Structure 1
Amino acid sequence: MGFQEDYIFWTLAHYFISDQEYRMIQLSKGQDELWLEKLEHKEAKVIRLLKYNLDWSNWMQRDIENTAQKAESVRRQLGRKELPIFNIYITAFPPVDDYEFRISAPFKAEKGKASVQTLIIDSSNPESIDKIQAIFHDPLTLPAGEYTETDADAVKHAALSKAVNKAKKEKALFNFGKPFFTYMFVFIQLAMFLFLEWKGGSTDTSTLIKYGAKFNPLILEGEWWRFFTPIVLHIGLLHLLMNTLALYYLGSAVERVYGNLRFIFIYILAGFGGTLASFIFSPALSAGASGAIFGCFGALLYFGLIYPKLFFRTMGFNILVVLAINLAFGFTIPGIDNAGHIGGLIGGFLATGIAHFPKKKKIWLQLLFLAITVSLAVGLLKYGFSEPGNLMNEQTAVVMAQEYIKTEDYKKAHSLLADFIKEKEASAEVYFLLSYAEIKEGDLQNAKEHLKQVIKQKADFHEAHYNLALIYIEEENRTKAKQHAQKAADLNPGQEEYHQLLDQIADWETSGQQ
C-alpha cells in the first residue's frame, strides 16, 4: 500500500476520533486495521477501517462474513439487541470483478443480529470519500494532489495523539483524589455504632434520641445539629453494614472524581438535604447515612449531566439501574425513609453543581446551583418551623412525651400532648400519657376526664382503671374507687398493686363503717 492510502486511512481515523467523538478500541500490529466505537449512543455504528488491496470480490465477501461474526460476538458481550458495523475499505484498486451486488445492502450474519454495511474508498478517486460525509453529515474533504510520506505521518500522528490525549483526559477525570474522607466516615460510622451499643443499644429509642437521631420535636425546639448528626448513626447491625458497604464503593468513586474537599462538602450537604426532607415529609425518628449516600448518586448524575458521553460509556447504565432499584425498594418496603433518600439525592446533585469539577470553573452555573440550593433549603425550613403540627405523628408525640416523663419534665409532656390532641385525633395511649402528666402536676380533674376518654376508647386499659381508682380515692368516692380498682384487677389479675389497692379500699370501707 502507498502513502496515498495511508493518508486517507489516517485522515478518516482523525475525522471519526476528533469530529465524531469515536474512541479507538483496537489497532492491528501492522496499523492497517482500526476499530472505533461510540457505545454511549446505542444507535451509533461501530466503525472498522481496513487498508487493503481488494483484488477479487470473493476475498472481500469472506472478510465481510468474518467481520459480521466478530461483530456478533461483540454484540452478545455488550448485551445489545443490534450492532451495526460500518466497514470501510481504503484501497488503491477496487475488486477487478463484479462486486457492487455484495455491498449494495448491509450483510447480516446467519442467526445473528449484527449487520455490516460496507463502503469502498478508492484512493485514486478522492471524491468517493463524499459518501462518508453524506452519512455522518459533517464536512470531510481531502486536499487535491498526491500525498507524501510526510503528509501521511503527520495526519497519523495527529489522529493517534488525539486518541491518546482523549484517553488520558478521561482517565484523569476518575483519578483526581484518593478516598481519604470516605474511609474516615466509614470509621466514624463503626465507632458511633459501637458507642450506641455501649450506651444502651443502637435500636433503643431513648439512646438514639439522646445521641442525635433525627427527631422532629427536638428539632422544632431548636436542636438544629440534628440535621447533621443522624448521618453517622445507624439503627441495628444490618442497617450499618448495608450503608457502610454502599459508602465504601460509592463514596470512593465520588471522592476520586471530585477530590477530598469537594467530596466532604457534597457528602455533608447531601446528608443535610436527606435529613431536611425527612424532617418535612416523615415525622418518624430516623438515622443513617442513606441520605448522604444517595447524595453520592446525585454527584455521579451531575457527572452524567456534564459528561454524558463518558458517563454512559463507563458507569452510567449501572448507576441508573442501582439507583432505580434502591428507590423502588424505598417505595415498596415499609419502614424505609424514602423522603430522606430523595432529599439526599437532590442535595448531592445540587452540592456537586455548586462545587463543580476540580480545576474547572463554570461560575454562572455554580451560582445558579447555589441560588437554587439556598432558596430550597430556606423555603423548606420556613415551612417546617411554621407548620409544626404537620411534622409530628402520634408515635413521635408518644415517644417525646415518654422521654419528658422519664426526666420528670411533666410540664413539657403535658404541653406537647395537649397541643397534639387539639390538632389531631388521638388514641387511648395519648390520653393516658396526658392524664399521667396531669396527675403529676396535680390537675386531677382534667386527668379524670382524660382517663374516662381512655376507657371509652379502650375498655380493657387496666392502667387507666387503676389511676381512676386512685383519683376517686383522693376525692373520697369509695364506690367509684372500688369499681375501677376491681376492674383493673379483673383485667390484669397478676398485677399485685391492683389487689393491694382493693385491700386498701376494703380497709377504708371497714374503718368508715366503724
Structure 2
Amino acid sequence: MYIEESYYFWRLAADLIVNHDYEILQMLEDKHEVWLEQRIKGKTNVVRLSHKMFDWSNQLKQDQTVLDENIKRVLKVVGGRQVHVHNVYIAKYPPVDDWNEWKDTRSLPGRKKGTVQTFYIDEQSRELEINQLYRSLQLKEKNFPAPSEFEMEQMVEYLKQSIRNNHTKKQQQREQVFFYGKPLFTYVLIVINLLLFGWLEYQGGSTNTYTLIQYGAKYNPAIIDGEWWRIVFSMFLHIGFFHIMLNMLALYVLGTAVERMFGSIRFIVIYFIGGIIGGLASFAFTPNVAAGASGAIYGLFGALLFFGTVYKTLFFRTIGTNVIIILILNIVFSIMVPQVDNGAHLGGLVGGFLASSLVHFPNKREVGKQLVSFLLIIALTIGLGWYGYNHDSNHYDARLQADVATNYIQQNKFQKAIDLTTTALNHTNSEQSSLYFVRGNGYVQLNKYDLAKEDYLQAIKLDPNFVEAHQNLSVLYYNVEQNETKALEHAKRVLELDSDNKEMKEFIQSVEENG
C-alpha cells in the first residue's frame, strides 16, 4: 500500500470522526476499511472508506457485490427513515478500463428510500472527489494539505491514535449514560410489592374484589368520596400470581436499566409520576376495580423513549429497536384483551416520558423543556382528576357494584349495600337487574319486605329469566305475605328455567302438601 493513499485514508476518517462527530460502525485496520455513521433528523449518512487498488473494472464490480452484502448487515444496526451510503475508494490509480458506470448513484439494496453513491479518490482527481464527497455529506468543502512523505508517515500514526482516543472517549461517555447509578429502589419496590401481595393473599385472596377494595385498590366510587390515596396505594397491589410475577419481572428488567441511567432519585420520581398519572387516567376512563404497577412500569418505558430522544444514535444502536418492538407488542396486547387497563398503561407511558424530561439525565439541563414538562405534568394531573370527578357516570359498572354490595351483605353491612346499589342505579342505564336484586336482598335483611318485593319485581321485569330473583320472590310471597298462589307461580317459573333446582322442588312439594 502507498503511504500517500494511506495518509488520505486516515485523514478523511479522522476528520469525519473527530471534527464532524461521525460514529465508528466498524474499523478493520487489516483490511484498510472503515465504516462511519451520522444520523441527523431521520436521515442517516453512512460512509465506507476503503483503501484498495483496482486494476480492472471487474474487480470493482466484485467489490460492489461485497459492498451490497455489507450494506444489508449495516442497515440492521443503523436507524433513520432514509439511509445514504457514501462508498469511498482511495487509490493511486483508477482501473485501466471503463469503470465510470459504478459512480452513478443507485438505490439502496433492500430499501425504497436511500441511495448508494461511489467516490473514487485517486491521484489525479483527489481534490475534486473529496469536495464532491463533502458536498454530498452537506459539509463544508475541505482542502487537505499534501505534506512530505516523511511527514505523512508520522501523521498516519497520529491520525490513527486520534481516532482511537476519540472512540475510547465516546465509549466512556456511553458507559456513563448506561451506568451512572446503581439499582436500589428497584429492589426495594419489588420487595414491597411481593410483601403486600402475600398480605392480600392472607387476608382473603388477591383476586377477591372485596379484599382488593378493602386494602386500597383503585375503586372509583371510593375515590369520588375522597379516598384519593388509592391512586398511589393501588400501585403496590396485584391481582393474582400471574399478574404479580409478570409485573415484577418487567420492573426488574426496566427498573434496573432506568435506575442505572437516571440515578435512584430521578428513577423514583419517574416511577411515581408515571404510576400516578396512569392511575388518574384509569380513574378517569375505566370503571373497573384496578391494581398493579403497570402504570408505573409503562412510565419506565416512557423514560427509555425519552432516552431515545436525547441519545438517538446510541438508542437505536443498543436497546432502541427492542424497546420499541416490546412496547408495540404490549400496546397491541392491551387493545386486544378487554380486561387490560389501557388508561393506566397509556397514562403511565406519557407520565413517565414527561417525568424523564422534567428530571432529565445527570449533568444535563434544558430549563425551558423541563419547565414545559413540569407544567404538562401538573395540567395532566389536575385535568385527569377533574374529568374523572366530574364524569361520575363512568365509574359505576352495574355488575361490579352488585358484587361489591353482595360482599357488604355478607359482612352484615346491609345499609351500606343498599346505599351503594341505589347510587349505582342512579348512574347506570344497563344491566340494572342485578342491582335491584342485591338491593332487594339488603331490604330483606332489614325486614323491609315491601321494598324488597318491589326490587325483585323490577329485576324480573328487566330480566324475565332471572332465576334467583324468582326464587327469592317466591319465598317472600310465601313467608311474608302468605300468598301461596304467587309463591307457587314464581317457584314453578324457577323450575322452568332451572329444572335441577332441588330447593324449589322441595318448596313446591311442601306448599302443595300443606295447601
TM-score by length of structure 2 reads 0.84
Q: CA deviation at 1:132?
A: 1.0
Matched, 1:142 2:117: no
Contact 1:463 1:488 in 2 (8 A): no
Question: Aligned partners of 1:214, 1:312: CA distance in 2, in Å?
Answer: 37
Partner of 1:101: 100
Matched, 1:246 2:243: no
The 1:45–1:306 alpha-carbon spacing in structure 2 relative to 1, beyond 3 Å, is closer
Q: Specify every segment of 5 or more residues in structure 2 that has no aligned partner in the other structure, as ranges.
A: none
Question: Aligned partners of 1:110, 1:348: CA distance in 2, in Å?
Answer: 38
Kindly report which structure 2 residues correspond to 1:325-474, keeping only aligned pairs within 5 A, or say none.
Answer: 325-425=329-429, 426-461=431-466, 463-465=468-470, 467-468=472-473
Contact 1:94 1:120 in 2 (8 A): no
Partner of 1:57: 55
The 1:40–1:441 alpha-carbon spacing in structure 2 relative to 1, beyond 3 Å, is farther
Question: Aligned partners of 1:390, 1:116: CA distance in 2, in Å?
Answer: 56
Contact 1:72 1:83 in 2 (8 A): no
The 1:422–1:51 alpha-carbon spacing in structure 2 relative to 1, beyond 3 Å, is closer
Partner of 1:483: 486
CA displacement 1:253-300 (0-9 Å, x = unmatched): 222211222112211221222221111111111222222221111111
The 1:465–1:481 alpha-carbon spacing in structure 2 relative to 1, beyond 3 Å, is farther
The 1:98–1:388 alpha-carbon spacing in structure 2 relative to 1, beyond 3 Å, is same
Question: Aligned partners of 2:369, 2:473: CA distance in 1, in Å?
Answer: 66
Partner of 2:16: 16
Q: CA deviation at 1:502?
A: 8.5
Aligned residues: 502
Contact 2:421 2:435 in 1 (8 A): yes
Q: CA deviation at 1:86?
A: 3.1
**Identity across the alignment (%):** 34
CA displacement 1:399-428 (0-9 Å, x = unmatched): 332233233333332222222223323432
Q: CA deviation at 1:65?
A: 1.8
Contact 1:177 1:259 in 2 (8 A): yes
Contact 2:440 2:452 in 1 (8 A): yes
Contact 1:68 1:107 in 2 (8 A): no
Partner of 1:214: 218
Q: CA deviation at 1:188?
A: 2.9
Bigger Cα displacement from structure 2, 441-450 vs 204-213: 441-450
Matched, 1:69 2:69: no
Partner of 1:33: 33
Q: CA deviation at 1:505?
A: 11
- Three-state SS of the structure 2 residue aligned to 1:27 is strand
The 1:495–1:206 alpha-carbon spacing in structure 2 relative to 1, beyond 3 Å, is farther
Which residue identity is paired with 2:65? A
Q: CA deviation at 1:173?
A: 1.1
- Three-state SS of the structure 2 residue aligned to 1:224 is coil
Q: CA deviation at 1:374?
A: 0.7
The 1:498–1:102 alpha-carbon spacing in structure 2 relative to 1, beyond 3 Å, is closer
- Three-state SS of the structure 1 residue aligned to 2:388 is helix
Kindly report which structure 2 residues correspond to 1:125-274, keeping only aligned pairs within 5 A, or say none.
Answer: 125-144=126-145, 146=147, 148-149=151-152, 151-274=155-278
The 1:61–1:260 alpha-carbon spacing in structure 2 relative to 1, beyond 3 Å, is farther
Q: CA deviation at 1:83?
A: 8.4
The 1:446–1:131 alpha-carbon spacing in structure 2 relative to 1, beyond 3 Å, is same
- Three-state SS of the structure 2 residue aligned to 1:57 is coil
CA RMSD of aligned residues (A): 3.7
Question: Aligned partners of 1:28, 1:191: CA distance in 2, in Å?
Answer: 53
Matched, 1:282 2:286: yes
The 1:481–1:361 alpha-carbon spacing in structure 2 relative to 1, beyond 3 Å, is farther
Q: Specify every segment of 5 or more residues in structure 1 that has no aligned partner in the other structure, as ranges.
A: 510-514
Which residue identity is paired with 2:131? D
Question: Aligned partners of 2:379, 2:44: CA distance in 1, in Å?
Answer: 41
Matched, 1:90 2:90: yes
Contact 2:473 2:490 in 1 (8 A): no
The 1:181–1:454 alpha-carbon spacing in structure 2 relative to 1, beyond 3 Å, is same
The 1:179–1:123 alpha-carbon spacing in structure 2 relative to 1, beyond 3 Å, is farther
Which residue identity is paired with 1:457? L
Bigger Cα displacement from structure 2, 354-363 vs 159-168: 159-168
Question: Aligned partners of 1:392, 1:110: CA distance in 2, in Å?
Answer: 57
The 1:220–1:365 alpha-carbon spacing in structure 2 relative to 1, beyond 3 Å, is same
CA displacement 1:328-350 (0-9 Å, x = unmatched): 11111231112221111111111
Contact 1:485 1:501 in 2 (8 A): yes
Question: Aligned partners of 2:502, 2:330: CA distance in 1, in Å?
Answer: 48
Which residue identity is paired with 2:234? P
Question: Aligned partners of 2:110, 2:461: CA distance in 1, in Å?
Answer: 75
Which residue identity is paired with 2:494? L
Partner of 1:512: none
The 1:40–1:315 alpha-carbon spacing in structure 2 relative to 1, beyond 3 Å, is farther
Which residue identity is paired with 1:448? K
The 1:175–1:26 alpha-carbon spacing in structure 2 relative to 1, beyond 3 Å, is same
Contact 2:50 2:89 in 1 (8 A): yes
Question: Aligned partners of 2:107, 2:217: CA distance in 1, in Å?
Answer: 61
Contact 1:65 1:109 in 2 (8 A): no
Contact 1:40 1:310 in 2 (8 A): no
The 1:152–1:278 alpha-carbon spacing in structure 2 relative to 1, beyond 3 Å, is same
The 1:360–1:29 alpha-carbon spacing in structure 2 relative to 1, beyond 3 Å, is same
Question: Aligned partners of 2:116, 2:332: CA distance in 1, in Å?
Answer: 40
Matched, 1:312 2:313: no
TM-score by length of structure 1 reads 0.84
